Amino acid sequence: MPLATLAFTIATIWIFLHGSATPGHFFVGLVLALFIIRFLKKSYYQDRTFFRIGSYFRFMRSFIWELFIANIQVLKIVLAPRLSIRPGIIPYKTVCKTPLGVTMLANSITLTPGTLSIDVSDDDETIFVHTLDIDHPDEVAEGIRVGLEEPIVGAVE
Amino acid sequence: MSDALAAVLLLGGSFFMLVASVGLIRLPDVYCRMHAATKATTFGMGGILLGASLIFQSTTVTTQALLAIFFLFLTAPVAAHLISRAAYKRGPDLCADTAHDEYGKYLEGQKEEEESPDQYGDA
């Protein structure tokens, strides 16, 4: 997305957030957009004109499903009469190459069943995942790979 | 009808917030607690915001609610990530039940690299 388009998109989102579509507020949005872009350009700006919309929706669907499962699971763990968790930290090798992909993956890991991303290694290749079910590390990794990583790779990489 | 749906969403949302709070008390260490705090609160908040937008029935409120949900889903995991990362580096230990810790090994490895500077050729 060219920077100008990005700025206008952010300004439009600002209008929606604010709830009043006057030129003045659009201008405020543009000023905010300039600040946002100024600070985040280095880390996230990628010269891509469009997302692959289809794959993006596939990711959203998969993500919402995982989110649902995650909440049922938290519900079960928290309200069970006796806590039965086996926490631990496992490394997860990611195939995501771009900063956007790794960020999306780490973010999604936190919101999905039994997993929480704690840190990303310096070479951006390994995400350290805190899990509540350490006895089945392969299943946890497989869940991330199928449920999140593949859709993300399809959408943004 | 939409009132009933709104009620279900609001009650469900509040219920998940409650679950998150109970989780904060019951779970043993900061990392496990972050599980409850991020998942259940985003879900609960989503339900409450959707319920609110159903009650108000206005485009402005609905778009605002949807945007709020979107940004919540973007920011909550970042906060959880930073809190647990900072916690690991600064203070609270993993709870005694923790069976496996690869992250600790990784940090140990990093420390050793820092302690042998000749590796970088700046001796």
Contact A127, A92 (CB under 8 A): yes
> Are residues A69 and A116 located together in one domain of the fold?
yes
Higher pLDDT residue, B94 or A92?
Answer: A92
Closest partner CB to A89 (pick from B27, B81, B101)? B101
Residue B101 lies in a domain: no
> Are residues A150 and A96 located together in one domain of the fold?
yes
* Residue numbers in B near A108 (CB within 8 A): 77
Find the domain containing A138 and state its range: 55-156
> Are residues A28 and A90 located together in one domain of the fold?
no
Closest chain A CA to residue B64: A17
Mean pLDDT of all residues belonging to chain A: 80
- A68 pLDDT above the threshold of 90: no
pLDDT of residue B113: 63
Residue B116 lies in a domain: no
How far apart, in whole angstroms, are the C-alpha atoms of residue B15 and residue B44?
7
B49 burial level (CB within 10 Å; 0-12, 13-18, 19+): buried
- B100 pLDDT above the threshold of 70: no
Q: What is the pLDDT of residues A5-14, one digit of tens each?
A: 888 888 888 8
How far apart, in whole angstroms, are the C-alpha atoms of residue B66 and residue A86?
36
> Are residues A38 and A63 located together in one domain of the fold?
no
pLDDT of residue A90: 83
> Are residues A70 and A115 located together in one domain of the fold?
yes
Question: What average pLDDT does the segment A27-45 reach?
Answer: 79
How far apart, in whole angstroms, are the C-alpha atoms of residue B52 and residue A94?
38
pLDDT of residue A86: 79
- Quote the distance between the C-alpha of residue A87 and its chain's center: 23
ipTM of this predicted structure:
0.75
> Are residues A99 and A137 located together in one domain of the fold?
yes
Domains contained in chain B, number:
1
Question: What average pLDDT does the segment A79-98 reach?
Answer: 81
> Are residues A59 and A123 located together in one domain of the fold?
yes
pLDDT of residue B48: 93
- B103 pLDDT above the threshold of 80: no
Q: Which of A44-58, A88-102, A129-143, B70-84 has the lowest mean pLDDT?
A: A44-58
Question: What average pLDDT does the segment A14-20 reach?
Answer: 80
A55 burial level (CB within 10 Å; 0-12, 13-18, 19+): middle
Put simply, whether B78 touches A (Cβ < 8 Å) is yes
Nearest to A140 by CA among B64, B35, B117: B35
Q: How many CA atoms lie within 13 A of A35 on its CB side?
A: 6
How far apart, in whole angstroms, are the C-alpha atoms of residue A61 and residue A67?
10
The reply to whether residue B31 touches residue A107, judged by beta carbons under 8 angstroms, is: no
Nearest to B100 by CA among A129, A81, A11: A129
Put simply, whether A77 touches B (Cβ < 8 Å) is yes
Higher pLDDT residue, B32 or B51?
Answer: B51
Residue A115 lies in a domain: yes
Q: Name the minimum distance, in Å, from the CA of B108 to any CA of chain A.
A: 13
Residue A50 lies in a domain: no
Higher pLDDT residue, B117 or A79?
Answer: A79
> Are residues A103 and A150 located together in one domain of the fold?
yes
> Are residues A67 and A26 located together in one domain of the fold?
no
Size of interface A-B (CB pairs under 8 A): 131
Q: Which of A151-155, B57-61, B89-93 has the lowest mean pLDDT?
A: B89-93
What are the CA-CA distances from residue A79 to residues B27, B41, B46 (Å)? 11, 15, 21
Cα-only R_g, chain B: 21
Task: Give the list of residues 6+ apart from residue B65 with CB closer than 8 angstroms, or none.
Answer: B49, B50, B52, B53
Domains contained in chain A, number:
2
> Are residues A34 and A74 located together in one domain of the fold?
no
Find the domain containing B66 and state its range: 2-94
How far apart, in whole angstroms, are the C-alpha atoms of residue B13 and residue A18?
24
Put simply, whether A154 touches B (Cβ < 8 Å) is no
The reply to whether residue A130 touches residue B40, judged by beta carbons under 8 angstroms, is: no
Q: What is the pLDDT of residues B48-82, one digit of tens each?
A: 999 999 998 888 888 888 888 988 888 888 888 88
The reply to whether residue A132 touches residue B32, judged by beta carbons under 8 angstroms, is: yes
Put simply, whether B62 touches A (Cβ < 8 Å) is no
Question: What average pLDDT does the segment A50-62 reach?
Answer: 77
* Residue numbers in B near A144 (CB within 8 A): none
> Are residues A83 and A131 located together in one domain of the fold?
yes
Mean pLDDT of all residues belonging to chain B: 80
Contact B40, B31 (CB under 8 A): no
> Are residues A80 and A7 located together in one domain of the fold?
no
- State the virtual CA torsion across A11, A16, A22, A23 in degrees, nearest 10: 10
pLDDT above 70 coverage of chain B, percent: 75
DSSP-derived letter for residue A117 is E
Enclosing H/E stretch for A66: helix A53-79
